[in-house]
A and B are shown apart, each in its own frame.
Chain A
Amino acid sequence: EVQLVESGGGLVQPGGSLRLSCAASGFTFSSYSMNWVRQAPGKGLEWVSYISSSSSTIYYADSVKGRFTISRDNAKNSLYLQMNSLRDEDTAVYYCARDFDWLLPWGQGTLVTVSS
């Protein structure tokens, strides 16, 4: 069964940092591009970042560019999102999702709360 499991969310103060992880199983992780998508409480979906299978191509939403860094470790079947200089507006559930251009599947999400 294809599965994605996020971890690393929590409460952090504005200006702080957090590293999210996404553990993949049930498929050849190294063959697929991956994404992070977030959803603020009560709001819609916002794409955050994309990384190709070999990490050669990386994209970010303008809202996180320069503050967030996506990476992956194909040997560990894991995807990461390093989030620095966090702001109140980064509060959201963060999902990882496998890329087919469409997103399939999605993990269950991990909640990041930025608050003092």
Chain B
Amino acid sequence: AIRMTQSPSSFSASTGDRVTITCRASQGISSYLAWYQQKPGKAPKLLIYAASTLQSGVPSRFSGSGSGTDFTLTISCLQSEDFATYYCQQYYSYPPYTFGQGTKLEIK
């Protein structure tokens, strides 16, 4: 199975900051990568698919990039509602679909 590794696992930031989360695949996955946001007690919400395509209704401050093994999720100007846990998911080779371990973004 393809292993997905996110970094950092958690970090603190302030409203207005620009933040970047990294996801690395154990083998090349082309652009077959999605990003999700999850808030406590809620289901994950799709933000980005195909590594860089923004899901309808997701604010444009979210962006994704990368291909092959290295990917990034960037939030250009953090808003209070963006403090959550973020997961990447590969769908290049399945089963199984595999997720990163998550990155928890907390308020500084």
Would you give the 0/1 interface string for B84-108, flagging 1 where the beta carbon is closer than 8 Å to chain A? 0001010100111111111000000
A residues sitting closer than 8 Å to B (CB atoms) are 35, 37, 44-47, 50, 59-62, 95, 100-109
Contact B55–A108 (Cβ < 8 Å): no
Could you say which residues of chain A place their CB within 8 Å of the CB of B36?
A: 45, 103
Could you say which residues of chain A place their CB within 8 Å of the CB of B95?
A: 47, 50, 59-61
Name A's interface SS: strand
Contact B44–A106 (Cβ < 8 Å): yes
Assembly CA distance A82 to B46 (angstroms): 27
Contact A108–B43 (Cβ < 8 Å): yes
* A103 contact from B32, B44, B98, B102, Cβ within 8 A: B44
Contact B43–A45 (Cβ < 8 Å): no
Could you say which residues of chain A place their CB within 8 Å of the CB of B99?
A: 44-47
Contact B49–A100 (Cβ < 8 Å): yes
* B101 contact from A44, A60, A109, Cβ within 8 A: A44
Contact B46–A101 (Cβ < 8 Å): no
Q: How large is the interface on B (under 10, 10 to 19, 20 to 34, 35 or more residues)?
A: 20 to 34
Contact A47–B102 (Cβ < 8 Å): no
Residue of B nearest to A59 (CB): B95
Does B34 interact with chain A (Cβ within 8 Å)? yes
Could you say which residues of chain A place their CB within 8 Å of the CB of B87?
A: 44-45
Assembly CA distance A60 to B94 (angstroms): 10
* B46 contact from A45, A46, A103, A109, Cβ within 8 A: A103
Contact B96–A61 (Cβ < 8 Å): yes
Q: For residues 26 through 82 of chain B, which have their beta carbon under 8 Å from a beta carbon of chain A? A: 32, 34, 36, 42-46, 49, 55
Assembly CA distance A60 to B96 (angstroms): 8
Could you say which residues of chain B place their CB within 8 Å of the CB of A46?
A: 99
Assembly CA distance A104 to B54 (angstroms): 13
Assembly CA distance A108 to B34 (angstroms): 19
Assembly CA distance A109 to B43 (angstroms): 7
Could you say which residues of chain A place their CB within 8 Å of the CB of B44?
A: 45, 95, 103, 106
Could you say which residues of chain A place their CB within 8 Å of the CB of B102?
A: 44-45
Contact A101–B101 (Cβ < 8 Å): no
